[in-house]
Structures are given as structure tokens and as C-alpha cells.
Amino acid sequence: MLAGVGFRKVFHIPALIVGSVIVDIEPFLVLAFDLDYPLHGFFHTFAGGTIAVLLISVPIWLLRKPIGKLMARLKLEQKKGFWFILWSAMFGMVTHIIMDSLFHADLRPFYPFWYNPFYGHISSKAIHFLCVFSFIAAGIIYIVIFFTAQKKESRQKNS
């Protein structure tokens, strides 16, 4: 959220969010249906995550007009090109996998290789703190963006 709101000219916020969440459908399904499958399986690898991102980028691009209308209401208008959407979703997926790789020993980000070079460098407590801090910072930035845009619109109407 912080990257999307703070750098909205660089990232398509909806694609970034969906790209960062899409890989967690896999552990959700494993837990929900008690599947005999690794919690962090193929889609928690850069190869699997890339496939997921390619599959979700096209629908996001096809829905760019209604998504754009929602983003305009939220005062977060953005450009909507396919490559912008794909880049943003890819960034979300990569950062998600790297962050998960930092504290999940079962993750194999560079499948088919079994080595996780990220594991153990930062504690899960530090990652969770970073996530909470980033979410709060994103909320503050968004509030400033929203009310600044409203003031600007109000001044334009009164002019």
C-alpha cells in the first residue's frame, strides 16, 4: 500500500494490490480444504508468481475503465496502460514472495532450485512491524492526497 499510494505515478495501485495478494490464494486453499500440498507451493515461487501475474493482468487491463472510475472517486487517478498494470502486478508479486521468503523456511523462491537465499536475515517480528508501519504511513499519505484533491476541486468550483 505504501508503494502504491506513495508512488502512484510509478505503480498502478489495484494491480499492485492484486499482484501482491494473488499468490496467497494457494495457502488459503491449502488451509481451507486441508489439502495435502505445501502451504507455500509453486505460486510462492517467482516462476509460479509470474504465471499468476500474467493471468490477472489481462482482466485488470480489460476492467481499466470501471477501475479508473473507482480510483477517480478515491482521488487516486492513474494511467492505465497494459505494461503499467503488468509492471505493478509483477512488483507486488515479487515483493510479496521476497517478504514471505524472509521468514518461511519452506519457501523456494527460485524454483526449481531449492535454496532460499532470503530466509533468516530478518525476524518475522520485524517484517510484521514494517508491514503495520507501512500500512499506517500509506493511510496518512492517502488522507493527505484525498483532502488535498477535495480542496483543489472546491477551489475550482468556486472560481
Question: What does the pLDDT look like over 6-61, one tens digit per residue?
Answer: 878 889 999 999 999 999 999 999 999 999 998 899 999 999 999 999 999 999 99
- Residue range 96-123, pLDDT digits in tens: 999 999 989 899 999 999 899 999 888 8
- What pLDDT does 65 receive? 93
What pLDDT does 123 receive?
Answer: 86
Contact yes or no for 20/95 (Cβ under 8 A): yes
* CA–CA gap between residue 43 and residue 144 (Å, rounded): 36
> Which among 75, 73, 78, 71 is positioned nearest to 146, based on CA atoms?
75
Q: How far apart are CA 52 and CA 64, in angstroms?
A: 18
Query: What is the per-residue pLDDT for 132?
Result: 94
The answer to whether residue 79 scores a pLDDT higher than 80 is no
The angle at the Cα of 140, spanning 56 to 85, to the nearest 5 degrees, equals: 20
Range of the domain at 53: 2-158
The per-residue pLDDT for 155 is 81
The domain total for the chain is: 1
What confidence tier does 78 reach under pLDDT thresholds 50, 70, 90?
A: confident
111, with CB counted inside 10 A (0-12, 13-18, 19+), is middle
Burial of 98 (0-12, 13-18, 19+ CB in 10 A): middle
Would you state the pLDDT for residue 22? Answer: 95
